[in-house]
A and B are shown apart, each in its own frame.
Chain A
C-alpha cells in the first residue's frame, strides 16, 4: 500500500500544476479549452487528494497531522476545497489562478519532504486534536483566500482610481464582488479559527493537565483572532468596508504567516511535532 501512497504523492503536485496552468491560461489569454478544462481539473485534483489523505489515515494508522509535510498537504487540500466551494457558490470562476498557486506550492513542498511513518506519539492520536487541527487548517485556508481576494480588490481599486485599465480590469469581476468574496472568506476563516481555539483549549486541558497557557503559539493565535474579530466588527459598526477591509485581510494573513514562522523558528513550544 505504501507504493500507492508514494505514487499519489508524486501525482498530486502535477495535478495541481495542470490545474493552475489551466486557470492561468483561461485568465490571461481567454483560451476556450482552458476555460472548459479548469474546473474538472480542479475536481480531479481534489478527488485524488482526498483519496491520498484517507489512504494515509487508514494505512499509516493516524490522521496526516503529525508532521510539517503532512500538515502542508492538508493545508493545500483545505485551500483548494475552500476555493472550489467559493467558486461553486458564487459562480465567480475567473480568479482561480491567483488562489490555486498556494496549494500547488504547499503540496509540492509536502511531496518532496514527506516520510511514510506509522510510529507517532500516542498523544497525537486523539479525535479532539483531529477537530482542532482541521478547524485551524480550514480557518487559515479561508483566511489565505480572503487575503488573495483582498489583494485582487486592491489591484482593481488602483486601476479604477488611476483610470489606467489593463488586463486586471478586463478579466476580474467587479469591486463589490471581490469585496464580498473577501468578506465571506474572512468570516468563514474566523469561524473555523474560533472552533479550533475552543477545541484546542479543551484538548490541552485533558492531554496535558496543568500546562501553562503562556505558550507563544497560543498567544500568537489569540492575537490573530483578535485582529480579525476587530476587523469584522469594525466593518459592521464603523463602515470599514472596501479598501480598508481589503487591507485588513492582507495584513491579518501576513501577521498569521509571520507569527507561525517566527514562533516555529525561535520557540520550542508543545506545538512542535517532530
Chain B
C-alpha cells in the first residue's frame, strides 16, 4: 500500500495548461468515484486556479503515477495541451510532506496565502462526502489541517498585507479609529483601485462614492461594489467630503494637484480628521506635494509596494519555523503509518499482554510454593497464548497489510489496546 500525489501547479505549468486541468465542483463529483473504482482504494482531488493535484492510495503492487496522470488528462480531454513534463509525481513521505507544505502556505504563489487551507478543506470534505477517502487519506488530511492551523498560530507566515490593495486597506485602519464613519471616494476604474475599494467596503466604511470620466463605467463599478456613482465634474466637491481617496486613472496629468488638496482640507465641512490619499495610477494621479499638506497621508503605488515587500520579507523569515512544524508533523504521521503494518502490531500486542501477565504473576508469587510457581508460570502463558491466538491469526491472514479491511482491523486493535499511546510513552 502506498500514498501517491500527482499534479501540476503554477511552478510547473503555464496558466493555459493549468486552466485546461481545472476541475469544477460538478466534475469533481464525477471524477472522484470514477478514480476510486479504478486502481485506487482512496482518492482526494485538490483543484484551484493555481494547481490541480490528485492524492491517491494504491492498494497493492507497484504504484503507477502515470495512471493517475492519464486519468486527470483524459478526464479533462487535455491530451493536446498537457505534457508529462508539466506534472510532478511524489510518493509516500514526499507526497505527505508536499500536502503539509501546501496546507501551511509554503507552496502558495504568494507565500503564506491563507486561501489555500480552505480550498484543501473543501476538497477533502467533498471526498469524505463521496466516501472516496479512507483510513490513510483521512489521517493525512487531518494532519495537514493541523499543520495549517499550527503555522498560522505559531508563526507569522500569514501576517501582513501582501497585495497593494490590502496594504492600503490596512494602512487606513492604522490611520483612522473607525472606518464605519468614513467616506471613500474612488476615482477611475483600474483593477487595483476597485479591489482596494472592495477591501475598504468589506471593512464597513460608511459611504463609497465612485467617479469616472465615463459615467457609465462609474455606475458599473458602483453596482459591483455597492457604492454610489457621482459626477466627475463635481470631483472637488466630493474631495472635501471624503476621508479616503483612491485614484487609479490613466491620465498624463495629475488628477489632483497639491493646491486642490490644500483647498479641500481648508474647506472641509465635517470634523478635521486625516485625509488618506491612495494613488495607484501610473503615471501618478496625485501631486506628491499633497503629502506636505497638514494631516494628509499620501501613499503612491511604490510606497504601498514597499510595505508589501517588507511583509513578504517577514514571511520568508517565518518560513523556516513553518518547515520545522511540517517536519514534526511528518514524523508523527510516518510513525503512525508504519505502525499500521501487521508485524509490528502483533509484536506490540504480544509484548503488552506478556508484560501484564508477568507483573501479575510476580505480584502474587509469594502466595505459592516453589513448585506451584513454575506451574503458575506455565498455566498463565498458556491462557495468554489461547486468548491471543484468534486475534493474531486474524491479523496475519489479512494478507500483507494492503487492503482496506486489514488496515481497519489493525487500526482498531491499536486503538482498543492503546498501542499508539504506549508507543509514544
Q: With contacts A156-B174, A163-B299, A180-B177 known, is A242 near B294, CB below 8 A?
A: yes
Which residues of A136-169 are within 8 A (CB) of B?
Answer: 156, 160-161, 163-165, 169
Which residues of B288-312 are within 8 A (CB) of A?
Answer: 291, 294-295, 297, 299, 303-304, 306-307, 310
Which residues of A172-210 are within 8 A (CB) of B?
Answer: 173-177, 180
Contact A241 B174 (CB under 8 A): no
Query: Interface code A233-249, partner B: CB below 8 Å = 1, 0 otherwise?
Result: 00000010111100000
Number of chain A residues whose Cβ lies closer than 8 Å to a Cβ of chain B: 18
- Which of chain A's residues has its CB closest to B306's CB? A163
> Which chain B residues lie closer than 8 Å to A169 at the CB level?
174
The 8 Å CB contact of A177, one of B171, B177, B265, B303, is B177
| Distance from A178 Cβ to chain B, minimum over Cβ atoms (Å) | 9
Contact A239 B294 (CB under 8 A): yes
The 8 Å CB contact of B295, one of A163, A165, A180, A242, is A242
> Which chain B residues lie closer than 8 Å to A174 at the CB level?
173-177
The reply on B25 being an interface residue by CB < 8 A is no
Contact B273 A176 (CB under 8 A): yes
Bin the interface of chain B by size.
20 to 34
Contact B177 A160 (CB under 8 A): no
Contact B294 A244 (CB under 8 A): yes
A221 to B295, CA, bound (A): 31
Q: Which of A156, A161, A165 has the most C-beta atoms of chain B within 10 angstroms of its own C-beta?
A: A165
The reply on B272 being an interface residue by CB < 8 A is yes
Contact A242 B177 (CB under 8 A): no
The 8 Å CB contact of A161, one of B273, B291, B310, is B291
Q: Which of A156, A173, A174 has the most C-beta atoms of chain B within 10 angstroms of its own C-beta?
A: A174
Q: With contacts A176-B273, A241-B272, A242-B274 known, is A161 near B297, CB below 8 A?
A: yes
| Distance from B179 Cβ to chain A, minimum over Cβ atoms (Å) | 10
> Which chain A residues lie closer than 8 Å to B272 at the CB level?
239, 241
> Which chain A residues lie closer than 8 Å to B173 at the CB level?
174
Contact B294 A243 (CB under 8 A): yes
The 8 Å CB contact of A165, one of B273, B297, B307, is B307
Q: With contacts A165-B310, A175-B274, A241-B272 known, is A160 near B295, CB below 8 A?
A: no
Contact A175 B307 (CB under 8 A): no
Contact B174 A175 (CB under 8 A): yes
> Which chain B residues lie closer than 8 Å to A177 at the CB level?
177
| Distance from B410 Cβ to chain A, minimum over Cβ atoms (Å) | 41
Residue numbers of B with Cβ under 8 A of A are: 171, 173-177, 265-266, 272-274, 291, 294-295, 297, 299, 303-304, 306-307, 310
Residue numbers of A with Cβ under 8 A of B are: 156, 160-161, 163-165, 169, 173-177, 180, 239, 241-244
Question: What are 17 pairs between A and B in contact, CB < 8 Å?
Answer: A160-B174, A163-B299, A163-B303, A163-B307, A165-B310, A174-B173, A174-B174, A175-B174, A176-B175, A176-B274, A180-B177, A239-B265, A239-B294, A241-B294, A242-B274, A242-B294, A243-B294
The list of the 3 closest CB pairs from A to B, nearest first, reads: A176-B177, A242-B295, A163-B303
Can you name 20 extra interface pairs (CB under 8 A) apart from A164-B310, A165-B310, A176-B274?
A163-B299, A163-B303, A163-B304, A163-B307, A164-B306, A173-B177, A174-B174, A174-B176, A175-B176, A176-B175, A176-B176, A176-B177, A177-B177, A180-B177, A239-B265, A239-B272, A241-B273, A242-B294, A242-B295, A243-B294
